[in-house]
Structure 1
Amino acid sequence: MMGTAPVEANTTQTTQKTGPKERATPSFRYAGHEAAMAFADQVAARHGLAPQWVRQHIGQAERVPAVLKLIAPPPSPAAKNWAAYRERFIEPVRVQAGLRFWQAHSDALARAQAEYGVPAELVVGIIGVETLYGRHTGNFRVLDALATLAFDFPTSHPRAAARAEYFQGELAQLLLMSKRHNVPPSQWRGSYAGAMGLPQFMPTSWERFAVDFDGDGKVDLQGSPADAIGSVAHYLKAYGWQSGMPTHYPARFDEATLDLDTLLAPDILPSFSVATLQSKGVRLDEDAQRHVGLLALVQLHNGDPAAGGAPPSYVIGTDNFYTVTRYNWSSYYALAVIELGQTVARERAAQMSKPKPTD
């Protein structure tokens, strides 16, 4: 979704409202914003665009207070809870929608798997978590959302300057996309963070990774499921997906030798060999013991234990698990995507194995 995946993780919104109330009455248009107009002149000079054209479109962008509310962290964030997070996505409505999506687009999914090496179930999982297979792609004008975050990002955020700079880059890319594809900048629709289409790509990712997978001569991540499928697979391949490698293995511990602090220090970045994990108290199954490459111990909290929450869950993540987190920098997101895809795949296999009724 983003120009760089680590930023993408912070702006992907997997459950978003799409009703008319998203567009709150704007305070003003950015034509009256000195910094916005200076930025417009910089973009024009840097990319060889007509200054008046850039000023006109950035000036038409409206500040949307709802975007600023949605981007802000909650005042009292709840403790992370993998079980609750999982229930949002691995549930009957999404699984059945995934089955229908796979049935309708099985050829494109099979072709993407063959071309990029990314399993069809993983693509199905990502599109299902991101937008429920196109049901919730967002209805904000992307021009407004990006301008609001580029020029009015909340200063209370500890990384406000860096985040504002990021969204300025995405705004510039939106204008370049619009020019290249002959689409008025105000016509793009997406999430409050500016992500678009079935896979929720940000403008930079759209330009870097989106592909014309249906061969109609244009890239359409909103109206072409085939383009969305091919683009998700291309994205993951570009970020290092290795065909045939599992995403994770189960984790069990030898409590007497477990060195949890050392194992969790690198977070989700694969950093330990099989031998090192075993020496630090991790018990691996036979498949994991045969793994070639580095691994990570991934911890997922299940609420606050002091408030009655369950103990954390753990998996052993591979380089492919880390690749999934490049789409959204969250181990919770990655495992939800993986498990949704696996659930849909199992349901599909069960349906296909049923005997067909005879006349």
Structure 2
Amino acid sequence: MKQWIAGLAGGVCLLSAQVVMANGFLDDPRAETLIEELAEEGLDADQVRDWLSRGEFLESTRTNIAAPTERTSTWADYRPIFVNELSIERGREFMEEHAETLARVESELGVDPRIVTAIIGVETRYGRITGNHAVMNAIGTTAFSDSPRSGYFMRELKAFFRLVHEEGVDPMTLTGSYAGAMGVPQFMPSSFLAYAIDFDDDGRRDIWNNPVDAIGSVANYLAAHRWETGGPVAMRAHVDGDDFLDIVDNGQRRPHTTLGETRQAGWSPVRPLEDGREVSTLRLEGEHGAEFWYGFQNFYVITRYNHSISYAMAVYQLSREF
């Protein structure tokens, strides 16, 4: 999850071919630099070296990391994968089963429990598909590669070792997506360190097996990114005239203009809304042609979880069905 990754939203996790190296990841000179940096942070260098020696390169990670689904599909293709009768039914069941925890999310963190549920639904089918790849191998495969993303994944590998050190777990026991996104909410290690919480006060931040911690952690992520309690997420827009396309900006997810200013270009909301509200202006290619949408602060917050506009819209539309 940071972002441009989401477990299921980035592609179904498959059993991976593994390339076993005699020294794991240690043959790469970057490994020693990583060991030294972690030792400076208080981790045992020999322990980190042992962990890295057990690393295995995953061919599925190499293949899949280049083309996550939400970057190669249109909205018309993307939507039915996540907004469908089965997902809606299971989402309602999830909300009923975890009603007490979701009520706490709303009262203590100010986050819409339907959005939290929808994120978990899109990420892992409500915890059913969390990935079966060893997280260390998934992240290490790209970290120790010539990919332009290797720097990002090296930082995530460093965060992963800090995570297992803090939580006192064996790194080889933690599983996730082909990209290393972990548990029910599909957090990358840096997100775990920053946003995972022990929502049931049992002394552990368990986003793999404890739905209370998973739900609380998703909500905490949204709250930390300035979720607007009770605020709108997105709204369809009517467009007219010759200038409405001029202000479409799918690359600008953060609200950057006012609704009143969009009216001058031929946009108008389908429901009454104050002209001073800040919005982003979005175009999606739907089943029946172009769709025009206003995105609000809360839509932007969802894109902090995963940067894809299609992802955020799927979360929003799924949440509306609960």
TM-score when normalising by structure 2: 0.92
3-state SS of 1:313 partner: strand
3-state SS of 2:57 partner: coil
CA RMSD of aligned residues (A): 2.2
- The Cα shift of 1:37 comes to 2.8
* Alpha carbons of structure 1 residues 222 and 32: separation in structure 2 relative to 1, 3 Å: closer
Match of 1:294 in 2: 278
Does residue 1:198 correspond to 2:184, yes or no?
Answer: yes
Which residue, out of 56, 64, 68, partners 2:50?
56
3-state SS of 1:301 partner: strand
Which residue identity does 2:258 align to in structure 1? S
Does residue 1:164 correspond to 2:159, yes or no?
Answer: no
* Alpha carbons of structure 1 residues 283 and 151: separation in structure 2 relative to 1, 3 Å: same
Which residue, out of 53, 59, 70, partners 1:65?
59
Which residue identity does 2:256 align to in structure 1? S
- The Cα shift of 1:78 comes to 9.1
3-state SS of 2:260 partner: helix
3-state SS of 1:312 partner: strand
Stretch deviating more after TM superposition (234-243 or 29-38) = 29-38
Q: Deviations along 1:57-100, whole A, 9 cap, x unmatched?
A: 112111111110111238xx996421221111111221221122
Which residue, out of 281, 287, 311, partners 2:289?
311
Does residue 1:110 correspond to 2:103, yes or no?
Answer: yes
Which residue, out of 239, 242, 249, partners 1:264?
249
TM-score when normalising by structure 1: 0.83
Which residue identity does 1:39 align to in structure 2? T
- The Cα shift of 1:40 comes to 3.2
Match of 1:14 in 2: 9
Q: Quick one: distance in 1 between partners of 2:244 and 2:281?
A: 11
Contact 2:13 2:131 (8 Å CA) reproduced: yes
Which residue, out of 289, 303, 313, partners 1:325?
303
Consecutive aligned runs of 4 or more in structure 1 exceeding 6 Å deviation: none
Aligned counterparts, 1:1-359, within 5 A: 1-2=1-2, 8-10=3-5, 12-14=7-9, 16-18=11-13, 21-26=15-20, 29-73=23-67, 80-154=73-147, 160=148, 163-256=149-242, 258-264=243-249, 267-288=252-273, 290=274, 292-302=276-286, 310-343=288-321, 345=322
Q: Quick one: distance in 2 between partners of 1:205 and 1:291?
A: 35
Which residue identity does 1:216 align to in structure 2? D
3-state SS of 1:287 partner: coil
Matched length:
321
Identity percentage over the alignment?
A: 33
Which residue identity does 2:285 align to in structure 1? H
Contact 1:118 1:243 (8 Å CA) reproduced: yes
Contact 2:284 2:292 (8 Å CA) reproduced: yes
Match of 1:348 in 2: none
Contact 1:29 1:63 (8 Å CA) reproduced: no
3-state SS of 2:293 partner: strand
Q: Which runs of 5+ in 1 are unaligned?
A: 3-7, 155-159, 303-308, 346-359
